[in-house]
Amino acid sequence: MDEPFPGTPTAAQMAQVHQVAREVFDVVGTKWAVPVIEAIGTDTRRFGELHRQVAGISHRLLTATLRQLERHGVVDRTLHPTVPPRTEYRLTPAGRELHVTINGFCRWSRRHLDEILASRRRFEQD
C-alpha cells in the first residue's frame, strides 16, 4: 500500500504528509546523512565500522546522525546485551527504499552532469 490514507486525503492529512516530508528531508539533507545511509547500504554495520567508513565524521556527529535517522524510521538500531555492549545498525524497509532513491538521484546527476556544469558556468558568467 503506497498511500497512508484510503480514498481522498483531507487537507489536514496532506498537511501532515508535507510536514513529515519536510522533517525527513531536513535530516536527509544534512552533510552526513547520505554518506551514513550509503555506508550502511544493504548490510548491518557496527558503529565502529561506520565511523571508519564515513571519512571525516566525528563520533558525536555519527551518533547524532544515526539517532535522527532512527527517529525518522530510516535506520534500525539493535543493541546486543554483551560485554562490552555491541550495537548494530541497518536500514529499515523505508531506509532501503530511500537508499534506492538516493542512488537514482546519483544516476540522474551522472546523466545530466554536462548540462549542470554548463549551466553553472553560464550562471557564474552573468
Q: Longest Cα pair distance anywhere in the chain, in angstroms?
A: 62
Return the pLDDT at 1: 45
Whether a cis peptide bond, with omega within 30° of 0, leads into 84 is yes
**C-alpha cell belonging to residue 45:** 554495520
pLDDT in tens, 26-36: 999 999 999 99
Residue 18 pLDDT > 50: yes
Alpha helices in the chain (DSSP H): 11-28, 33-40, 47-53, 59-71, 93-111, 113-125
What is the reported pTM? 0.84
pLDDT in tens, 56-66: 999 999 999 99
